[in-house]
Chain A
Amino acid sequence: MHVLRDRLTALVIVLGLLFAGSLARAQGYDAALAGFAKDSFSDTETAINAVAASGNPLAAEVIEALQDGRLLFDPNDKKVYVRKKSGEMVDAATGRAVVGTPPAGLKPVRLNNRLRRAIDAAMGALTLLSPDPSKRYDAAQAVFKARDPDALKTVDAAIAKETDARIKRALTEARAAIVLNLSDAPAADKLDAVSVIRERGDQEARGLLAGLPANTPDQVKRAAADAISSIDTRLAMWDLVQNAWYGLSLGSVLLLAAIGLAITFGVMGVINMAHGEMVMLGAYTTFVVQEIIRAQNPALFDYSLVIAVPLAFLVAGACGVLIERSIIRFLYGRPLETLLATWGLSLIIQQAVRTIFGPSNRDVGAPSWMSGAFELGGITITYNRLWIICFTLAVFFALQALLRFTRLGLEMRAVTQNRAMAAAMGIRTARIDALTFGLGSGVAGIAGVALSQIDNVSPNLGQGYIIDSFLVVVFGGVGNLWGTLVGAFSLGIANKFLEPVAGAVLGKIAILVLIILFIQKRPRGLFALKGRAVEA
């Protein structure tokens, strides 16, 4: 009996406590909501913080609605409503849908910039505990930027619960950012915070450390100054890496455009001014393939480039064979005439494409695996550039292998080294000439597929590359594919390192002048052939 009474008493007390607690919380939330109906900015701000602190499950929804201008209040009875994205009206206090027609004369709660910051901070704190990891991460970043001291407790709670290492680091950084801006935090905590921020080491971290409040203790300020200089070094290093990456990327584009020329000009010695137009034909092949896929079978769109590569090779290669048979074979040994004839040819091809496809840029889409980017340390790498570098290297090595290991490659090398002897050994030199030229043109076509992803597909596409390509081949050394590789990448990297110093156009001019001077110094290029081959 005694026991029973005790238990009953305990039960009553517990129930009572529970009831009182929930009542108090409900009251806190309701009182906070009433703040929105007062139509004053400072009351709204208090309300935002109170709602965020209330722990009510509706809090996140209410604040999100406020952010989007979907939080409304009735000026007469001071009740607050949320209009859901679906348009449905919900009572903000209970979360239940409004029965019947919503009251007339509802006004949205007004916002200003200070309130928007408060909202961001509140949302950050509220979503720190969200079950969705990417939301938690974003929230941690938001808190890092807002540095709202009120969020400190939530951040601590979130750190304690967090299991994902990346988010935990972001949370720790957010906490450090808050601590650095607290006036009453102990110096030791602040020093820890500085070292955490130093670890982060990006532009924002630098900004945070540079803008410490005035009352920060001296030792913390010293640590911060130290951290800033270390971050600066780090940023400068990443800048360097970034430039090198851009340079590699530009180099791969140059290599791609020049590699076909390295065959026709470098190996055969034919000046093909229509080389750029072969690139352009490749790009237009990609366009046509994508158009057909869009019309016939959109599901294949992601494979459009894979389909376009062999087709572009065939189209440009066939054109190349045709050109060789109809024009170039009559002009062997007369390089200046070849130059003029192929220039005329390039005018004709450009004008033909302009007549068929129109003079404006054509839209070539990117498949899903080529769009987007990822972060590597301090730099952003886009997938299309990465793929183009890989693709370029693949084409380069495939071509090397073809020349080195196949019968066709052997015959090509034989004909270019000693035509008469090759003919005497039974090689049909005329056929090899046509095939070699077709190969060079086909590779240019493949380049067009890749360049369609980063350049405008217009009839003038090829013109932009022709001078650069010749310079790469001449710079790298004629008759040597490795020279072309080294030439393209060194020109690309030099260009990108000059650009921040001299500006884009002046950088390009400087490169041109440097190459002109270089050709004066070494007329046969970086990797010159030696011995008798020079005179050939």
Chain B
Amino acid sequence: MKAPLIRALDRASTTFLVVLAAAAVIVPLLNLAMPQNSPWYVPTYLVALWGKYICYALLALSIDLIWGYCGILSLGHGAFFALGGYAMGMYLMRQIGSRGVYANPILPDFMVFLNWKELPWYWYGFNHFPYAALMVLLVPGLLAFVFGWFAFRSRVTGVYLSIITQAMTFALMLGFFRNNFGFGGNNGLTDFKDILGFNVQADTTRAALFAISCVALMLCFVICRAIITSKFGKVLVAIRDAEARTRFLGYRVESYKLFVFVLSACMAGVAGALYVPQVGIINPSEFAPGNSIEAVIWVAVGGRGTLIGAAIGALVVNYAKTYFTSGALAPYWLFLLGALFIGVTLLLPRGIVGTINHFAAERRHRAAIKAEPVPRPAE
């Protein structure tokens, strides 16, 4: 029996990892080492933009893990993404220190503005990076655990689950919009200065964040591959295809679902935490139900249940979004996005990667048939 890591990495996965690793090295190099007038120079804004795409790809990967392999369509994954982002944002806020507009060494600007006298208890500890990093995993994970515990135990499945996950992110959005929640209300958290002592705006920090995002995506990809190629992964697929049968075979369906749901939420949290320093702001509109559904369509475009496809779908759709919304075509972007939703579900249900895999498999199948003629049925 092969070691789990070897088993997890087939040819496509290895290629994907190599491309990512190359990007993690080459893009920062082209940004930092090349002179500005060189044709090979990658401007810093592009590094930040691509870093953002990589974070989206990680979010898509986390959705694909539960949707593609376990049949859980979460329309609230944007909530986990945003929670991870807020945890990181809180750390970055505390790092501003007395450099804020009101120069209060402890309180962030918006709290001074709201006339708060002391830090709320849930802000304690966020001035330490390890604590914040732990919270990035813990907060989305805990929410997913509580939510999943209730939902899966009472066998809320299919669209019902989708709708209540949507209601969950909607409720969180309403909450975070309130000033007295203590997360900056409408404006969210912004004006960040330092991360771990490095200037957030600096080219080197941007390049490092890009490389870290790529590494995080690679790590999560390997984890996902390891899970789906294991026996555990086979049970997940069984749950996706016939939940009741799997239960009757003696598997504790709820526990499997809960584990993979929490893991996926943690990944989304990491994606959000890497997203915030690169974008420079986190506000409650990240919780908007529309964002979560958009993330689902990335997965559908790339190919549900292919992992690589999810990442590619996120990159393709977001590149298209940037391309369309930054030019004269801006009013047509929503038409295109809408058409993408309809077109993919009706015409390309396997997504890009899924379709390619399908044709490749058929070709192999045909080649196999040619090499070994089918025995003639007995007369």
Contact = CB atoms under 8 A, between A and B. Distances in A.
Interface of A: 271, 327, 330-331, 335-341, 343-348, 350-352, 355, 467, 470-471, 474, 505-506, 508-509, 512-513, 515-517, 519-521, 523
A471 B341 contact: no
Contact of A330 (B174, B289, B346): B346
B345 A523 contact: no
B31 to A, nearest CB: 35
A335 to B, nearest CB: 5
Nearest to A535: B244
Given A327-B342, A351-B331, A523-B156, A344 B337 contact: yes
18 contacts: A271-B159, A330-B346, A336-B73, A339-B75, A340-B345, A344-B297, A345-B338, A346-B338, A347-B334, A350-B334, A470-B166, A512-B171, A515-B167, A516-B147, A516-B167, A519-B156, A519-B164, A520-B154
B341 A340 contact: yes
B349 interface: yes
Contacts of A340: 293, 296-297, 300, 341, 344-345
B338 to A, nearest CB: 4
B7 interface: no
Contacts of A355: 331
A272 to B, nearest CB: 11
A519 B178 CA distance: 26
Given A327-B346, A467-B170, A519-B164, A344 B175 contact: no
B297 to A, nearest CB: 6
Contacts of A271: 159, 162
Interface residues of B, number: 42
B370 to A, nearest CB: 34
Nearest to B158: A335
A474 to B, nearest CB: 6
B340 interface: yes
A471 B331 contact: no
A512 B155 CA distance: 19
A336 B337 contact: no
Contact of B178 (A337, A474, A505, A521): A505
Contact of A523 (B75, B160, B300): B160
A347 B163 contact: no
A351 B160 contact: no
Contacts of A341: 341-342, 345-346
Nearest to B177: A505
B340 A344 contact: yes
Nearest to B333: A351
A344 B342 contact: yes
Nearest to B244: A535
The 8 residue pairs across chains A and B that have the minimum distance between CB atoms? A344-B341, A348-B338, A347-B338, A351-B334, A512-B171, A344-B338, A341-B345, A520-B150
A352 B73 CA distance: 28
B335 A351 contact: yes
Given A340-B293, A509-B171, A520-B150, A471 B345 contact: no
Contact of B171 (A348, A513, A519): A513
A517 B150 contact: yes
A146 to B, nearest CB: 41
A86 to B, nearest CB: 53
B208 interface: no
A508 B174 CA distance: 8
Contact of A331 (B154, B164, B177, B346): B346
Contact of B168 (A335, A470, A516, A521): A516
B18 interface: no
A467 B162 contact: no
B341 A347 contact: yes
A479 B81 CA distance: 35
Contacts of A343: 293, 341
Contacts of B168: 512, 516
A496 to B, nearest CB: 17
Contacts of A337: 345, 349
Given A335-B159, A341-B342, A506-B178, 11 more contacts: A339-B75, A339-B162, A340-B296, A343-B293, A343-B341, A351-B335, A467-B163, A474-B160, A508-B171, A509-B174, A512-B167
Nearest to A521: B154
Contact of B154 (A335, A348, A523): A523
A347 B154 CA distance: 33
A367 B155 CA distance: 49
B339 A344 contact: yes
Interface in B39-96: 73, 75
A2 B78 CA distance: 114
A519 B175 CA distance: 21
A223 to B, nearest CB: 44
A366 B174 CA distance: 31
Contacts of A345: 338, 341-342
Interface in B289-327: 289, 293, 296-297, 300
A476 to B, nearest CB: 13
B220 interface: no
Nearest to B347: A330
B151 interface: yes
Contacts of A512: 167-168, 170-171, 174
A505 B73 contact: no
B164 A505 contact: no
B163 A471 contact: yes
Nearest to A273: B293
B334 A336 contact: no
A505 B167 contact: no
B159 A467 contact: no
Nearest to B296: A340
A37 B171 CA distance: 67
